[in-house]
Amino acid sequence: MTQMMECNERLNIVQAKIAKAANLAQRNAEDVRLMAISKTRSADEIRPLLDTGHRLYGENRVQEAAAKWPALRDAYDDVEVHLVGQLQSNKAEDAVQLFDAIHSLDRASLIKALAKAMDKLDRRVPCFLQVNIGEESQKGGCAIGDIPGLLESARSAGIEVVGLMGVPPSEVNPAPYFALLAKLAKDNDLTGLSMGMSGDFESAIKLGATHVRVGTALFGARS
């Protein structure tokens, strides 16, 4: 019970910050989805947050998610788990089976693999196109100039692209990058914006984020 109370307190704090940021941007807080990033967290660490009623979670790795979420889904109703980490094409079928959305679609070969998996499993999973908004060689994501072509390819393959995802470079002001991603989404008639993490989600919300990814602020420091 104490664990759940602590989780509930942390959740209330984050939700209050979301509400404040949305209000400043003249947006509805209900239009911002809070994704609890549960990567590296055990099922025992996740359950107290599930017990508060929170139902949207994000994972980085297919294998890790496969080890803990099927049992948790059996125990809790209406859980959504999204993939926010890089996806290898050879894991596409596992990802389609496991996740309710994929935020890291970023190349033609992955479009092909996901379309094949969705057809085989008869399951359509909405995707965000990941954009390398900081043009960083070590990060995943497509080049800005590749967005229109990848969107056309995905749609032709029967994949629903619901928005863009991006991660700004670290240790710089993230706001210009959030603004850029928002402009790119608007230019391509997309409404979803997966951007903002524990340290900058309030700025992301002010610039249009629809999905924010928060880990430590919800689960506490890692032991």
Task: Give the residue from 162, 164, 174 showing the smallest Cα distance to 204.
Answer: 174
Q: Which residues pair with 58 in a beta bridge?
A: 37, 82
Q: Which residue has better confidence, 4 or 192?
A: 192
pLDDT-derived band at 113, boundaries 50, 70, 90: very high
pLDDT in tens, 142-194: 999 999 999 999 999 999 999 999 999 988 999 999 999 999 999 999 999 99
% of the chain surpassing 90 pLDDT:
92
Beta strands in the chain (DSSP E): 33-37, 56-59, 80-83, 101-105, 127-130, 161-165, 192-194, 211-214
pTM over 0.85: yes
Task: Give dist(CA 59, CA 63) in Å, integer.
Answer: 10
pLDDT at 1: 60
pLDDT in tens, 47-73: 999 999 999 999 999 999 999 999 999
DSSP letter for 168, please: P
pLDDT in tens, 183-197: 999 999 999 999 999
On the question of pLDDT at 200 being above 90, the answer is yes
Task: Give dist(CA 195, CA 172) in Å, integer.
Answer: 15
Residues in the chain: 223
pLDDT at 136: 86
CA 107 vs CA 82, 88, 128, 130, 153: distances in Å: 19, 10, 12, 9, 10
pLDDT at 2: 84
